[in-house]
Structure 1
Amino acid sequence: MFMSGCVKRYFLLISGLFFMGLGISLITKSSLGTPPISSIPYVLCLIYPVTFGELTFIFSLLFLLGEILLLGRNFPKNQYPQVFVGFFLGLFVDLGMLIVSSIQPAQYLWQISILLIGCVILALGIYLQVTANVIMNPGEGLVQIIAVRTKIRFGLIKIIFDSLLVTGAIIISLIHFGTLNGIREGTVISAGLVGYIIILISAMMNKINFQAWLSK
């Protein structure tokens, strides 16, 4: 019974990471920006011969390193597998970019539609990954540790964290291109909308007793 529940949770984790990668890819392909957490990796992949997914993995490692530096010996050993979470997320971002490679939205209404679909898929992925409750995503883990250390609400730290990432992406883009690449209104829309979609998905899952199925 324990193994059954464990298998379900890891299946949810991998599924969640897949949908996160696909959602990030769709939002990016909308040509209206990329999610805040992916902003710097995306801008850098436009500059250097490294894929979006590879840079996503590299930044996941940097976030994990930040967690370890902040907690030192108190860093939970069971969270070291966050390395694999970062790896699979990066893998699924590249796979997602391949899946949606044929999408080239030209009209603004079509771009908005792709953006919104991407937000829904990203929100589903985040919900599944969080619900699995197995291993944290390095980015969220770093935000949580900072929130605990500073005694500031997680939501506020998350806003500051995302804002710093977007600011960094803007600076890098302006330095290398002289204009904004990868940062547009879609970045702001995805940042504000995804959380509300997660709440809606959670409410829907509660109605079908999803947590009860997971616990069996």
Structure 2
Amino acid sequence: MNRGELLRRYVFFIVGLFVNSLGIALITKGDLGTSPISSIPYTLSIGFTPSLGMFTLYYSLLLIVLQLVILRKRFPKQFWLQVPVSLGFSYFIDLSMALLGFLNPQGYPAKAALLLVGCVVLGIGVFMEMAANVVMLPGECTVKAISTTWNTDFGKTKVAVDVTMAASAAVLGLILYQELTGVREGTFVSALLVGAIARTVHRWINPRVQTLLTCTPAPMEQEAK
């Protein structure tokens, strides 16, 4: 992989990271719960001072520590890229929440519509991150660490991890607020739809995206000819 391709992939990844944060913000603004990966930070942000982005950063760092415990000496050096990525992702989440501050849907149909739009946007963001193939967010890296260590299927492990995160957020909400706060039907809808949307987008446009990311400009001599 030459420098030009690597640069294009990182730019594509960063754009995907912002799209991902925008999807999370849209789902959260729908007020029907948030995505499983954000459920614990969102539940904490409801009753405490730090923002959703900051709690996401703390949670991401905790997941990185968990990966270190699981993988130990097998922790890949490139996994350290999760630290700056987590910083950027947390900033993007707070930025997206601020940009969408005007959204305050009233009524269940409007909230459901915003949830679905958020799932589509988040699915596109997830596709972009995977297509860039340079680094993963802590949630995906944690799934990778578990599936590698115990030889489990990545897809099934991700579902199990998502369910565990959502269940933990639900318990946390009950302990802190005596009600299910932050985890609602939207959490499970996003868990079902986002992956399916990402896979659909992958089938539709991934070959073209990979062509754009890997293309090498023609030499000046060939262009002149």
When structure 1 is superposed on structure 2, of 63-72 and 88-97 the one drifting more is 63-72
Q: 1:92-139, CA deviations, whole angstroms, 9 ceiling, x for partnerless residues?
A: 111111011110111211111111110111111111111111112111
Q: 1:197 Cα shift?
A: 0.5
Cα separation, 1, equivalents of 2:175 and 2:138: 28
Higher Rg of the two aligned structures: 2
Q: CA RMSD in A?
A: 1.3
Per the normalisation by structure 1, the TM-score is 0.96
The residue identity in structure 2 corresponding to 1:46 is I
Cα separation, 2, equivalents of 1:73 and 1:108: 49
4+ runs deviating over 3 angstroms: none
The residue identity in structure 2 corresponding to 1:10 is Y
> Any conservation in 1 of the 2:12–2:128 contact (CA below 8 Å)?
yes
When structure 1 is superposed on structure 2, of 70-79 and 91-100 the one drifting more is 70-79
> Any conservation in 1 of the 2:124–2:198 contact (CA below 8 Å)?
yes
1:96 is aligned to: 96
The residue identity in structure 2 corresponding to 1:8 is R
1:28-47 pair list within 5 angstroms: 28-47=28-47
* Structure 2 unaligned spans of 5+: 216-225
Q: 1:206 Cα shift?
A: 3.6
Counterpart check, 1:178 vs 2:178: yes
Q: 1:193 Cα shift?
A: 0.4
1:191 is aligned to: 191
The residue identity in structure 1 corresponding to 2:43 is V
The residue identity in structure 1 corresponding to 2:28 is T
> Any conservation in 1 of the 2:79–2:141 contact (CA below 8 Å)?
no
Cα separation, 2, equivalents of 1:181 and 1:71: 33
Cα separation, 2, equivalents of 1:122 and 1:170: 22
The residue identity in structure 2 corresponding to 1:99 is L
Counterpart check, 1:158 vs 2:152: no
Q: 1:64-91, CA deviations, whole angstroms, 9 ceiling, x for partnerless residues?
A: 1111221112211122111011111111
Percentage identity across paired residues of the two chains = 38
2:219 is aligned to: none
